[in-house]
Amino acid sequence: MEPKFELKCPEEDGDDEFYLIFTRYLYSKIHVKQSLLLSLLDKNYNECLFWIYEIYFSGFQEECYEYIFTIYDEIYKRVNPKLLKFLENSYDEWKENPEKHWLIGTVVGTLCFCEYDLEEFIWSYFQITSHQIPIEEKKKTFIIRLKEEDMIQFVDKPNTNPSRKYLKSVCHFPLRTEANRLFKGSLEDLRENFYNNWLYYASFSPVWLDRIMEFRGSVDDDSLKVVFENEDLEEEFHNKWGLETDEQSSEIQDIILGDTKEQMGIKEFCEKYRCIIPTKRIKKKG
C-alpha cells in the first residue's frame, strides 16, 4: 500500500526545484504539513490552528480539506467513525461559501482532541506492523465550534511595519523538523534558497503570486527570479514585501527553517505516540 500522506520530498528527477514552495510566512509547505500532523498527534491546539491556516491563507484552501480528509482516513477514522459526517458537512458548507474560513479551523480543532490510531499509517508508510496502545479512559468526542472572530489571529496581518520586521511579527511557531529524517522530508539547499531565491519559490503560493502580479511582476523559471516591468514597480514591491531573508536574525531563521539537529527514528516515534512494535523471538536450536 502506498502512503497517502504528502510527507516525503520527491526523488531526484530534475524537477525538484518546483517542489519547494514557500508559504505566506516563508515556511516550506511540505514541512508545514509535517508540522500539522505532529501537532495533531501532540494535541497542541494553538499550533494545529496555526499550521492549518498557514496552508489555507497561502492559497491552498482545497488542499487543506484534502489533507485533513487523508489524515482522518488513516489516523482517526478507525476510532472515530461517526466524525466522517461532520467533516463532510463542514466541507460542503465551505464549498457553498468559501468565505467561511473558520470551518477548517473547526474541523482541525475538533480532530486535535480526538483519539487516534497509527497502526495503518505506520504500516502504509514504513511497512511495519505495530499495535496502538489505547488511552486508559476514553473521552467522549465533542465538536469544537469556532466563529469568525475566533480566527482573527490567523488571518493575514497587514504589513504595516518595515518589511524586514514582518516575519518576526507573524512567525509564532517553529517548524517541526524532528521527523525530517524519518519522513525523508529534507529539501536540498533550503537555506540557500531562503536567502537568495525566496520570492521565486514563494511565487508558487497563490497569495504571493497575487502580490507579485499586483506590481506587474512575472516569474522567470530559467533564472529562478521574479522580474518586474520597470524599476519603479520593483522598488514599490520591495518597499512593501522585501522581507530581506538574509538579514533576519538567527532566531527567526531557525523558527522558519527549523532545527534539524534532533531527529526521531521509527522507534522513538512509536514510543512517543503509544505504538508497540512487536519483537520477533528467535528460537534456539536444539
User: Quick one: CA dihedral 87, 22, 185, 266, positive or negative?
Assistant: negative
- Whole-number Å distance between alpha carbons of 88 and 80: 14
Cα dist from 241 to 23, 202, 231, 238, whole Å = 14, 12, 15, 5
Q: How confident is the model at residue 9 (pLDDT cuts 50, 70, 90)?
A: very low
What does the H/E/C string look like for 150-163? HHHHHCCCCCCCCH
Check residue 85 and give its pLDDT: 96
Chain-centre distance for alpha carbon 180: 13
Check residue 135 and give its pLDDT: 78
HSE-CB of 93 using CA atoms within 13 angstroms = 13
Weakest mean pLDDT among 7-16, 129-138, 183-192: 7-16
Residue spans of the domains in the chain: they are: 20-276
Q: How confident is the model at residue 169 (pLDDT cuts 50, 70, 90)?
A: very high
For the chain, give the percent of residues with pLDDT over 90: 72
**CB 258 within 8 Å of CB 173:** no
pLDDT per residue as tens digits for the range 256-277? 999 877 899 999 999 999 999 8
**Strand, coil or helix: what is 259?**
coil
Check residue 51 and give its pLDDT: 98
pLDDT per residue as tens digits for the range 197-221? 999 999 999 999 999 999 999 999 9
For the chain, give the percent of residues with pLDDT over 70: 90
Q: How confident is the model at residue 151 (pLDDT cuts 50, 70, 90)?
A: confident
End-to-end CA distance of the chain: 39
Is the pLDDT at 286 greater than 70, yes or no? no
pLDDT per residue as tens digits for the range 119-144? 999 999 899 999 999 876 666 778 88
**CB 87 within 8 Å of CB 72:** yes
What does the H/E/C string look like for 126-152? HCCCCEECCCCCCCCCCCCCCCHHHHH
The DSSP line for 167-236 is: HHHH--S----TTHHHHT---TTHHHHHHHSHHHHHTTSHHHHHHHHHTTEEEETTTTEEEESSHHHHHH
